[in-house]
Amino acid sequence: MIMELLDKIFNREGKNTSRTVARDRLKMVLAYDRTDVSPKMMAKMREELLEVVGRYFELEPDALEVQFDREGSSTALIANIPIRRVKVDVDVDQPVITEEP
Amino acid sequence: MSGQVLVITSGKGGVGKTTTTANIGMALAALGHSVALIDADFGLRNLDLLLGLENRIVYTILDVLNGECRLEQALVRDKRQPKLALLPAAQTRDKNAITPEQTKGLTAQLAENFDYVLVDCPAGIEQGFKNAIAGAQRAIVVTTPELSAVRDADRVIGLLEAAGLKDAELIVNRLRPQMVKDNNMMSVEDVMEILAIKLLGVVPEDEKVIITTNRGEPLVLSETPPPAGQAFLNIARRLSGETVALLNLEVAPPSFMDRLLTLFRRTN
């Protein structure tokens, strides 16, 4: 109660108010709606993203969050992939494998 | 095992169907039941936003029906409440993209694995409504104590009856006790007298609903749920067969702390 009161007094234009959270979430979900990417393509991209990052880090299963952010006319893809730990047995000297089309 | 399929409907938009679905779903899960929520509002999905699951959607109902993925793959599991899963609506297609028969099949399939399947019905009484009620065994009608909402609720109750859902239960949402006390708002008794169906619960108007919705965290997740959250928790308990008295919504005089807070009130 006291903390809430202090927040109310000092955190007038705070960054993490429910108002700014709402605005930011809405922007992101609209950016995604407007991209009109097919669910199939998104699913494939998520799978491959997890596969690549999973080579280097042990990942939280099922925790990938993908969102789009829009700033003016440009759109950014933001992926949030919680990791458990770095894999120690990664051979970093191996040449990068690029798939032939 | 076979769970219950419930549809949450209202006729009128903006009375709190989706908020109700999100909170009752969370509350049922908190009571230990497994719950699947279906967003039946094709083209205008929002249940994902209210649950804070919008960034975890991969597939939608439509992908399941088109055989693009398995039902299990389309379900978004909630990390805060693992007993809750969401089946998202397709955002790119309209209400005519599916048929009542398809909904029936889908809800039956979900009921095999979940204790409760809650269908969030779109506003209106057209195709989307018909799709949403198709697989339901129980119906919840949400209304507010306003003329247009109660009128539309009455119409919906009639349509539900015609479709074989004869025992619809009512939630009176966004009640403002002070206004009722001042005789400036219809009371729960007034609404009950007009609609004459079983009362499932009364939810007071609460600013906290806006704040928690902003964050995508349903009210009932708070450690000390505010009155509206408590009301949703009670509704969930009634749904699962318990007898719980209605919340006391008598207007209390403002406490010293309340008055102090209003002095410092800022938008939060």
- Residue B163's pLDDT band, with cuts at 50, 70 and 90, is very high
**Does pLDDT of B207 surpass 70?**
yes
% chain A with pLDDT above 90? 13
Which string of b and e fits B64-83 if b means at least 16 CB within 10 Å? bbeebbebeebbbebeebeb
Specify the pLDDT at position B249: 83
**One-letter amino acid identity for A49?**
L
- The size of the A-B interface in CB pairs under 8 A is 64
* CB neighbourhood size of B112 (10 A): 10
Say which residues have a Cβ less than 8 Å from residue B58's Cβ, sequence separation at least 6: A39, A42, A43, A46, B69, B73, B74, B76
Cβ contacts (< 8 Å) between B267 and chain A: which residues?
Answer: 17, 19
In this predicted model, what pLDDT tens digit does every residue of A20-64 receive, in sequence order?
Answer: 889 888 888 888 888 878 877 888 898 899 999 999 999 987 778
**Does pLDDT of B104 surpass 60?**
yes
**Does pLDDT of A76 surpass 80?**
yes
Specify the pLDDT at position B1: 59
**Does pLDDT of B160 surpass 60?**
yes
Which string of b and e fits B245-262 if b means at least 16 CB within 10 Å? eebebeeeeeeeeeeeee
SS3 content of chain A, % helix, strand, coil (to 5): 45, 20, 35
**Does pLDDT of B72 surpass 60?**
yes
Q: Work out the end-to-end distance of chain A between its first and last CA atoms, rounded to an integer number of angstroms.
A: 61
Beta bridge partners of B118: B6, B37
| Region of poorest pLDDT, from A23-27, A91-95, B132-136 | A91-95
A27 CB-contact burial (10 Å; exposed 0-12 / middle 13-18 / buried 19+)? middle
**B55, B68, B260 ranked by CB distance to A66: nearest:** B55
In this predicted model, what pLDDT tens digit does every residue of B171-204 receive, in sequence order?
Answer: 999 999 999 999 999 999 999 999 999 999 999 9
- For residue A92, the distance in angstroms to the closest alpha carbon of chain B comes to 31
Cβ(A6)–Cβ(B267) under 8 Å?
Answer: no
A8/B264 Cβ within 8 A: yes
Specify the pLDDT at position B22: 98
Say which residues have a Cβ less than 8 Å from residue B39's Cβ, sequence separation at least 6: B45, B46, B47, B48, B61, B86, B87, B88, B89, B120
Span B226-243, average pLDDT: 96
Cα gap B63→B89, rounded to integer Å: 10
Task: Kindly report the pTM of this predicted structure.
Answer: 0.83
**B56, B69, B260 ranked by CB distance to A65: nearest:** B56
Asked if this assembly's ipTM is beyond 0.85, the reply is: no
Cα gap A91→A88, rounded to integer Å: 9
In this predicted model, what pLDDT tens digit does every residue of B138-154 receive, in sequence order?
Answer: 999 999 999 999 999 99
Say which residues have a Cβ less than 8 Å from residue B162's Cβ, sequence separation at least 6: none
A17/B268 Cβ within 8 A: yes
Specify the pLDDT at position B62: 93
Say which residues have a Cβ less than 8 Å from residue B140's Cβ, sequence separation at least 6: B6, B7, B8, B9, B20, B24, B168, B169, B170, B171, B200
B58/A39 Cβ within 8 A: yes
B55/A65 Cβ within 8 A: yes
Residue B257: both structure tokens together = 């702390």
In this predicted model, what pLDDT tens digit does every residue of B44-54 receive, in sequence order?
Answer: 999 999 999 99
Specify the pLDDT at position A89: 81
Mutation for testing the A interface, residue in B55, B213, B221, B261 having most A CBs under 10 Å = B55
Query: B240 φ, ψ to 5°?
Result: -90, 15
